Structure 1
Amino acid sequence: MKYVIKSVLILVSGVIFFSCSQAFQVQNDYDRSVNLKQFKTFRVEMEKEMTNDPIIGSELNSRRILGAVAEVMEQKGYRQVENNPELVVRYLTDVKDRQQVRSNGAMSPYWWWYGPQNNNISTYNYQEGRLIVNIYQNGTNSLIWQGWASGRLKAPSKREDRDAMIKGVIGDILRTFPQATADTYSNEIGER
């Protein structure tokens, strides 16, 4: 009896975990030759010369993304400045139409008796969105860090949900970008 209860609890917790998992896949890449912990200031702007999706890249969402990126970077200890920042954080969005093909793979264990079963194939069309954050070293204008989230688009029902969703996605993208360290500010304090 204990074994059955324990098995049911494990099964239920697994179902809850997978139902709460994020809908977006988050990845990043960076230049390993650059010490990312040496920077302390940043500026946020939209990626130049890129066309955005008219809905995902709308002015409303651009303001949300700008605010979310600035908030996450400040939480990590970076200071936002307009003139001569060490890092320039740029973002872009895009949407692609995707198609998934599904097969039920009907193979009866009694195929030898009933003959081969029909294999039903269906297609599912959806839109996949990407939110990309590029971080450039100012002065050299070279890309030193890139993070992105991609997944199926599903519009939240309320404006607050959109704000929370964008903040969550930006937080997930920038999670692996390093915190500004205390020694980053030691030169600034000594110069005063």
Structure 2
Amino acid sequence: MRTLRFGILFLAVLACGGCTTVQVSQDYDPHADTSGYGTWHWRNPVQSATGDIRIDNPLLDKRIRHAVDNHLKGRHIIGAAQERPDIYLSYHLTIQQKIQSDSYYSTVGVGSYYHPWYGGLATETRIRQYDEGRLTIDIHSAESGALMWRGVGVFRLRTHNTPEDAAEATQEIVDKILFQFPPGSPR
């Protein structure tokens, strides 16, 4: 019975390890009216080239734009003709290499009768390199063009087996970022 409980706990920890963790934050102009918008449009029809083939990917651009559109449709903010939207949206994606180190005690040593001062704890440190993505979504006033709200999501990049998996992960990231908009509103 104890082995079964341990096995279930181990599988639960593994399952959570595959989940996407997105740290989100927001910043906004407290004087700007960020409520009551019903239409939006992209500020830039095409993202600027960065020189990084992981970012300058038309398939990724399409996924991000589709995820934003899906989220806003669910909030009853629909895409509009470019001439008369209430707000403009833009996004910016960056990828940086990061290093993570974990130290843990791997061995406990015990002295013997003749050498009681031998013993102690052995420590191991593991260093891993990974890519961290930062997706920034900006909302601008259609009247003035001023930035009203910025949402940022920071996440560890993962590879996906299928385009559907990639689209699902992108939607999750966008949803977590845009969940904060408009600031101070009940969700």
Give the TM-score category using the shorter length.
Answer: 0.7 to 0.9
| Cα distance, 1:117 vs structure 2 | 3.9
Contact 1:45 1:66 in 2 (8 A): no
SS of residue paired to 2:179: helix
Moved beyond 6 Å, runs of 4+: none
Cα shift at 1:21: 4.6
Paired residues for 1:20-59 under 5 Å: 21-46=19-44, 51=50, 53-59=52-58
In the alignment, does 2:124 pair up with 1:125?
no
Task: Give the stretch that moved more between structures: 26-35 or 130-139.
Answer: 26-35
Question: Which residue in the other structure is 1:174 paired with?
Answer: 178
The aligned runs of 1:1-192 (5 Å cut-off) are 12=9, 15=13, 18-19=16-17, 21-46=19-44, 51=50, 53-81=52-80, 82-105=82-105, 108=108, 113-178=117-182
User: For the residues of structure 2 that align with 1:48 and 1:158, how far apart are their CA atoms?
Assistant: 24
Structure 1 residues 76, 52: closer, same or farther in 2, change over 3 A? Answer: farther
State the aligned residue count.
Answer: 174
| Structure with the largest fraction of helix | 1
Structure 1 residue identity aligned to 2:66:
G
Stretches of structure 2 lacking an aligned partner (at least 5 in a row) = none
Superposition deviation, residue 25 in structure 1 = 1.9
Cα RMSD for the two superposed structures: 3.3
The answer to whether the Cα contact below 8 Å between 1:50 and 1:92 also exists between their aligned partners in 2 is no
Question: Once the two structures are aligned, what percentage of the paired residues are identical?
Answer: 23
1:61: how far off?
0.9
Q: TM-score, normalization: structure 1?
A: 0.73
The TM-score, its normalising length taken from structure 2, stands at: 0.75
Instruction: Quickly say closer, same or farther: Cα 1:117–1:104, change in 2 above 3 A.
Output: same
